[in-house]
Amino acid sequence: MPYTRERIAPTGSTVGIVVLGDALLQAADDGTGERLRATCGALIGPHDRPVVNQPTGETHAIGIVTTPVGCETVFGVAPSTIRGRVVDLCSTWSPATRLRTELCAADEPDRMLELVADRVRQGLGAPPRGVERCEVALGRLVADPTLSIAQVAADVGVGREHLGREFTRIVGLTPRTLSRLLRMRRLLAGIDVHGAVAWRELAADLGWFDQAHLIRDFRRHTGVTPTDYIEAQRAGFTDVEAEDAAGFVPES
């Protein structure tokens, strides 16, 4: 990273990070949560505010990103227990210590990715009850994050409250929270930070018809205002880099 630290906007997923160099300092809830010094790795639970990431030196890392419904199956952890938190990966996910040792001994990126894929496959647990329904509901929200939760619940054959309880158990977030995240991710992906940003059109297409509402949601999910986000991305990333950096807010 050519900058000191970064805010990383949430995606609805659970993320495991295996650290292969100097430690990372990470804190959820836009940096106000308990700070973890990740020497082995970090497990970032589902959240709706940015995680602050700050390397302590030169480091390398490999990430394992689940879908929103994959936390318990992949990491064996109920997402509700790590919602809005960053915890030590090696203390939480048993294969992590051995995997890190294997990765440090490997010298080819392709081999490293093979090792990660093998460890994940070998450690997969049984899907939690109700995951199929939540996966269908997730697909509906990914396709159109402006859908009402009542409509999504009806589409999968349950009531809104039932879907809310099931989502909270399996995803770690409510359907409404996840839909807001997905709307924001769609908005961020549609921004050309090095060009003219059509804020009004982008916001209206995703259901924001009130500027104050958009700014409030934007700040909650990225930690900064839309104007500050554009300035940070322009300062931190080239045109090419910015194409894959939606949701990252560099800080000097």
Which one is predicted more confidently, 252 or 20? 20
Could you report the per-residue pLDDT of 106-144, keeping only the tens digit for each?
989 999 999 999 999 999 999 999 999 999 999 999 999
- Of 83, 85, 184, 71, nearest to 124 by C-alpha is 71
End-to-end CA distance of the chain: 10
- Of 62, 51, 53, 52, nearest to 21 by C-alpha is 62
Residue 182 and residue 175 in contact, taking contact as beta carbons nearer than 8 Å: no
- Sequence-ordered list of residues with C-beta below 8 angstroms from that of 2, at least 6 positions apart, any chain: 236
pLDDT of residue 96: 96
Q: Give SS3 for 251.
A: strand
Quote the pTM value: 0.93
